[in-house]
Structure 1
Amino acid sequence: MIMTVKLILSDIDGTILNDNNIVDSGLKESIERLKQKEIPFVLASARSPKGMLPIAQKLDVLDNPIACYNGALVIKDLKNENYSTVFSHGLDNNEVEQIVKIIHDKYPKVSINLYTGADWYVEDTDKWVTIESEITEIDPIVTDVDKLVEKHQIPIHKILLVSDSAEIDKVMNYLRDAVFPNSSFYLSKPNYLEITNSNVSKEKALRELAKAYELDLKDTMTIGDNFNDVPMLKLAGLGVAMQNAPVEVKKCANVVTDSNNQNGVSKAVEKYVL
């Protein structure tokens, strides 16, 4: 079955990266063939621009848009220090202040990470920050988070709260029960709670990109492995779930490809597009 695919939007972690954080070894060659057909391969992730740069470089997709923070910030020309912004959706400043205060008051062991543009701010380099730094190969900026959010001078594109999974479950339930109408909460890992603007999702990013490219959504393909990928898997003309995805996620996709440890993304691109 060869689809009429004119745009591919793909998740990164657990999708094009295997369990050792190594890029799908067949994907660069597939992307070269996609370029010949003028089919953009767009990366979409909860990662920051700096966290996506080395992967975009390896795959040679720096000329395509890149959807950071699950679409809260879509940029182009990532290779340039002054990259251009295609779309930007920051969190509500007052809600950011309230969330930070709740974490400090009720869950002091939780690691608070704030992302704005290409910058990552933390209060101190605790064990969770160290782990994330090793994964992304980025050093955070240590600062007074309270003062940073009180100033309201920069857009906060994402809050990442990290602790052990039991603690994060408590935090998520508390924040969801509180009234934060402009924020959405989801787990990207069992112990990673991501918070973005309620209008932000990979689904919204797909809609915006399809519009920018003047494409019908039926001519798009999305690839992902987790619950935050479900909306874009359902929306695309062809939603592809990884074999390593949870059963509930696979049920929401049109097809299931091999796992992230078996080059599932490049195999899906070859099978359904090339």
Structure 2
Amino acid sequence: MNLRQIKLVISDIDGTLLTTHHLIDDQLKDVLLELHQKAIPFILASARSPEGMSPITEELNLSDNPLVCYNGALVLKKQSDENYTVLFSHELNRTDVQQLINLINTKFPHVTINLYSGSEWYVDKIDKWTKIEADITKEHPIVKNIQQLLLNVALPIHKLLLIGESEEIKQLLEYCTNLRLPNSSFYLSKDNYLEITHRDVSKDKALVELSKYYDVPLENTMAIGDNFNDIPMLSLAGLGIVMDNAPEEVKKSTNLKTTDNNHNGVSKAIRKFILDT
């Protein structure tokens, strides 16, 4: 295809437009201004919550664009400082969640349960894992009894994040898989981070929803990412760009590569494949 036909760009955050020290690609703001002048939306897609993505959107002047949160479980658009309009929402099944919470409380009591609903992050207690996550995302969790939260049937559950020691999380993943829950999917975003969302949630499905929202054919989209959960999105987009810091298996998902996240990979990809063509 003609590279000049790209009309929509979607990008992962961690390991992609953020450096290993969690700093934003320092050339990106200027590049995004040029994209904006060409009326090409730049969409952030992440496992993060809306609040965890907010500082990045504000620094990059992206507050008017939709956000793909929780890997696509929630896609929303900011309307004001504290208000969002939900574009798409895919929530966990409450029965599945209750089974998972019971399993963790019974067999894995040292695992930290993080429950995400809309823009809110709930935890049973503050511990070393929540402190680490808060430091990364610049968010502050709300301490609530998770079991009591589940009694509120009106509360949407977009994601569970289970954090613990790597070996314990590996065992927990095996237990979760053996439960064969029909509506939930599980994946490791880190060796000690187990993410749980609805089985229909993925970045590639979010890309489909956004391509329809903007009335842009998939062949006219570009996706940038670095990890295993980015592979379907990279494969589906008209142009799938993989970061040089990605694992080898992820690199095999597309033949288009940019530099790593510590060397302005996202900015260079946009310049090479859109702005300088």
- For 2:26, what is the secondary structure of its paired residue? coil
What's the CA shift string for 1:248-271, capped at 9, x where partnerless?
001002311100000100000000
Pairing 1:116–2:138 present: no
Cα contact 1:91–1:157 (8 A) shared by 2: yes
SS at match of 1:167: helix
Query: For the residues of structure 2 that align with 1:77 and 1:153, how far apart are their CA atoms?
Result: 22
- The superposition leaves residues 171-217 of structure 1 with CA deviations (integer Å, 9 ceiling, x where unpaired) of 11111121211011111111111100111110110000001111110
1:79 deviates by: 4.3
Q: Give the Å deviation of 1:78.
A: 5.6
**Residue deviations 1:39-71, cap 9 Å, x none?**
000000000000000000011111111111111
Q: Aligned residue for 1:66?
A: 67
Gaps of 5+ in 2: none
Corresponding residue for residue 169 of structure 1:
170
Following superposition, the deviation at residue 80 of structure 1 comes to 3.0
- Relative to the length of structure 2, the TM-score reads 0.97
* Matching residue's letter, 2:255: N
Matching residue of 1:241: 242
Q: Distance in 2 between matches of 1:254 and 1:78?
A: 38
Structure 2 CA distance, aligned partners of 1:251 and 1:88?
Answer: 31
* Per-residue deviation, 1:88: 0.8
Asked whether the equivalents of residues 203 and 232 of structure 1 are also in contact (C-alpha less than 8 Å), the reply is: yes
8 Å contact kept, 1:219–1:237: yes
Whether 1:12 and 2:9 are equivalent positions in the alignment is no
Output one character per residue of 1:152-182: Cα deviation in whole Å (capped at 9) or x when no partner.
2200000000011111111111111212110
Matched residue SS, 1:252: coil
Q: Are residues 18 and 78 of structure 1, via their aligned partners in 2, closer, same or farther at CA, if it must alter by over 3 Å?
A: farther
- Check whether the contact 1:168–1:192 (CA below 8 A) recurs between aligned residues: yes
Checking the alignment, whether the CA contact within 8 Å between 1:186 and 1:195 is kept in structure 2 is: yes
Whether the aligned pair in 2 keeps the contact of 1:53 and 1:78 (CA below 8 Å) is no
Corresponding position of 1:252: 253
For residue 262 of structure 1, give the secondary structure of its aligned residue in structure 2. Answer: coil
**Structure 2: distance between partners of 1:3 and 1:35:** 15
Of all paired residues, the percent bearing the same amino acid is: 53
State the secondary structure of the residue aligned to 2:157: coil
CA distance in 2, matches of 1:163, 1:79: 35
Q: Give the aligned partner of residue 190 of structure 1.
A: 191
Counterpart of 1:207 in structure 2 is 208
Displacement of 1:223: 0.5
1:229 is aligned to: 230
> What SS does structure 1 have at the residue aligned with 2:39?
coil
State the partner residue of 1:155. Answer: 156
Distance 1:103 1:156 in 2: 17
Residue 3 of structure 1 deviates from its aligned partner by 4.5
Structure 1 residue identity aligned to 2:165: D
**How many residue pairs get matched?**
274
Indicate the residue corresponding to 2:264 in structure 1: 263
What's the CA shift for 1:149? Answer: 1.2
Between the aligned partners of 2:206 and 2:72, the Cα distance in structure 1 is 5
- List structure 1 runs of 4+ shifted beyond 6 angstroms: none
Q: What CA distance in whole angstroms lies between the structure 2 residues aligned with 1:169 and 1:5?
A: 40
Name 2:41's counterpart in structure 1.
40
Counterpart in 2 of 1:91?
92
Equivalent position of 2:179 in the other structure: 178
Q: Secondary structure at the match of 2:105?
A: helix
Alpha-carbon distance in 1 for matches of 2:24, 2:185: 29
Distance in 2 between residues matched to 1:257 and 1:98, nearest whole Å: 42
1:26 maps to amino acid: Q
Measure the CA separation in 1 of the matches of 2:237 and 2:79: 25
Contact 1:49 1:78 in 2 (8 A): no
Q: Match of 1:91, SS? A: coil
Q: Distance in 1 between matches of 2:191 and 2:153?
A: 30
CA separation in 1, counterparts of 2:131 and 2:196? 20
Tell me the C-alpha RMSD between the 2 structures: 1.1
Q: Secondary structure at the match of 1:188?
A: strand
| Counterpart-to-counterpart distance in 2, 1:53 and 1:79 | 12
